[in-house]
Structure 1
Amino acid sequence: MDLLNTEAQKNGNVIDYWNSGDDVLKWLERCGAVLTSACKEVDLDELLAQGRALRTLARRLIVQRKEGEVGDVSGLNKYLGAYLTAPHLERDKEGNLVLIRTARGGATASLLGPVAEAVAQLLVERNFSLIKQCEHPDCILWFYDRTKAHKRRWCSMALCGNRYKAAQFRNRRSGGGTV
């Protein structure tokens, strides 16, 4: 869901938080998908273009899945096919052996591969009735509803929920009815 939320809306304008390949790298690091110190060989312009394309593809596939359709996954399969990995044994903090997968493909594919895999897992494993888009009319953010009753409506109650409820209150006070 974080991938979709690299775009937001403010005052009717879409804001893209990815304006450079460095922005994509920083986002990947924040999400724990990559260490930027290991990304010296990547073409930042290609990373930005491919990252944005993957985001657009993911949004389309998720919207289609929410509508009960299975969209064309061939584009996602291209990202997955380019993400070459190999098993590798390492020791964890306690000294125990752990099996991890190490990226072996091209730099951009290695960076975006884990994201494409997360999108694929979302499409396969998640309950799509719990994947929701914020109900505030000026918001385009998405979330996975983990609340007990599954009645969450806003990306953030403090932001969108409060703004919507305040607007309803102002409208009722001015005699305008409901929003």
Structure 2
Amino acid sequence: MSNAEHPPAEAPLLADHLALDLLNTEARDDGTAVDFWHSGGDVLRWLARQGIVPPAGSAEIDPAALLAQAVALRTLARELIGRRSAGTPTGLERLNAYLHTHVSAPHLAQGADGKPVLVRVPRGGAIAALLGPVAEAVADLLVAGDFALVRQCEHPDCVLWFYDRTKAHKRRWCSMALCGNRYKAAQFRKKAGQGTAA
């Protein structure tokens, strides 16, 4: 991931899977580590971009606790996804700790079209309600993901992950606009340099 002058202010949402977007809240820019989470507010904004918001009427959220738990979940997810990629899934009980605190109940609601819809309403603490869907996405990836399609960007300065949902399963870059174009430009410069030398 690079944006030559300045790294983006928010983590990119380009992985096509919530669990991998979680990993992408840490990136690298010109060899320098970039962490998009510096506060509980950063985590809340990232969650909102994913469509995850605090439940109505939930208690005040301790920003420091949210940040600490979100970073711990991200670290755990990176470890578990890496192990699953290597064919050695272990440490699942630590993910279960997040899953078990995410208590929800079915709730019948009126849909936008007037028809009833069945939704799940969080019943646990506010932080568990926010991080529970993310932990579920990690669990879903570990259980049902095709790990032949779970990849990291091929650009040498990028550490972003993605789930390759392209028809031919040939995706190489986190984003064609970011690393794909950087690679093409580097190849062009390389060829131009070889032509000049000849």
Q: Tell me if TM exceeds 0.5.
A: yes
Are the counterparts in 2 of residues 29 and 36 from structure 1 also a CA contact under 8 Å? Answer: no
Are the counterparts in 2 of residues 90 and 98 from structure 1 also a CA contact under 8 Å? Answer: yes
Match of 1:23 in 2: 42
CA drift of 1:34 comes to: 1.5
Superposed counterparts of 1:48-67, under 5 Å: 48-67=67-86
Identity %: 61
Helix, strand or coil for the counterpart of 2:88? coil
Match of 1:43 in 2: 62
Helix, strand or coil for the counterpart of 1:123? helix
Counterpart CA distance in 2 for 1:38 and 1:162 is 46
Match of 1:166 in 2: 185
In the alignment, which of 125, 143, 158 is matched to residue 139 of structure 1? 158
CA drift of 1:95 comes to: 2.1
Counterpart CA distance in 2 for 1:35 and 1:53 is 19
Counterpart CA distance in 2 for 1:162 and 1:46 is 39
Helix, strand or coil for the counterpart of 1:76? helix
Match of 2:113 in 1: 94
Match of 1:116 in 2: 135
Per the alignment, do residues 64 and 90 of structure 1 end up closer, same or farther by CA in structure 2, a change over 3 Å counting? same
Is 2:5 the partner of 1:5?
no
In the alignment, which of 85, 90, 106 is matched to residue 104 of structure 2? 85
Is 2:126 the partner of 1:126?
no
In the alignment, which of 30, 38, 53 is matched to residue 34 of structure 1? 53
Per the alignment, do residues 36 and 86 of structure 1 end up closer, same or farther by CA in structure 2, a change over 3 Å counting? closer
CA drift of 1:35 comes to: 4.8
Are the counterparts in 1 of residues 54 and 129 from structure 2 also a CA contact under 8 Å? Answer: no
| Deviation >3 Å, runs of 4+ | 35-40
| Greater RCO (CA < 8 Å, at least 6 residues apart) | 2
Which stretch shows the higher mean deviation, 137-146 or 159-168?
Answer: 159-168
Helix, strand or coil for the counterpart of 2:148? coil
CA drift of 1:11 comes to: 1.3
Q: Amino acid of the residue matched to residue 80 of structure 2? A: L
Are the counterparts in 1 of residues 54 and 126 from structure 2 also a CA contact under 8 Å? Answer: no
Counterpart CA distance in 2 for 1:111 and 1:147 is 30
Counterpart CA distance in 2 for 1:3 and 1:20 is 15
Normalising by structure 1, report the TM-score: 0.91
Which stretch shows the higher mean deviation, 96-105 or 25-34?
Answer: 96-105
1:12-70 superposed Cα distances (whole Å, 9 cap, x missing partner): 11111111000101111110022587665111100001001111111111111111221
Residue-pair matches, total:
176
